[in-house]
Amino acid sequence: MTIFAIIGHLAATTGNFNLNDMPGGAGRMDILCRAVNTSLFLSHDLRREVTVYLVLLGGTDAPKTIMFSGEKVRSLNPDERSAGALIKKALEIPVGEEFRESTRGVYVRRGGLSRLLLAHAFAVLDEDGEDIGTATTIPEAFLLSDHLNFTPEELEMTCSYPKYSVGPKVLHADHTITVLLNVLDRRCGGQ
């Protein structure tokens, strides 16, 4: 299993955002939609072994965490609006402390990063980290940020975690995920 968690520092936590304005009113939700896309899609297939967490920290009902299960998700298409519509539905249902399924393979709960970090052995994507292309060990879980840097509090929570980069240029979160998965594909020989 491979896990990606992306922090949406401004991302909406209520379902009343407009799918036509995800970069604006929804707090750069477009970034999280593209991260879902790059985490889960293959040509004419899905990456069933991948799970994606979106940590939503914006708006009046923060924090919430949404989980997309590559194994179970249905009704997901590659365009941003498709992932956005599933996120919107997840944010429209009553939510408690445990994950609740909003649509097939999509789940939502209250809580943010501190709780999520307890669940998996995360590594952090960092432009000064070890190049994943030549790393000897590959972690099972990767933590990325949206268009904003990790906050001082997030950096403190993750300061002891291994850090990886994806090459000499700094990429958007979704592009970073594509490169990470390509490295994993090559190590596993496509199996």
- Shortest spacing between CB 63 and a copy of itself, in angstroms: 23
Q: How far apart are CA 165 and CA 131, in angstroms?
A: 5
Nearer to a copy of itself, 78 or 96 (CB): 78
Contact residues: a copy of itself, CB under 8 A: 19-20, 22-23, 30-31, 34, 37-38, 41-44, 77-82, 133, 147, 166-172, 175, 178-179, 182, 185-186, 188-190
- Shortest spacing between CB 46 and a copy of itself, in angstroms: 12
Q: List the helix and strand counts (H, then E) for the chain.
A: 5, 10
Q: How far apart are CA 43 and CA 73, in angstroms?
A: 16
Contacts of 144 (CB under 8 A, 6+ apart): 4, 5, 6, 7, 35, 125, 173, 176, 177
- Shortest spacing between CB 108 and a copy of itself, in angstroms: 23
Nearer to a copy of itself, 107 or 164 (CB): 164
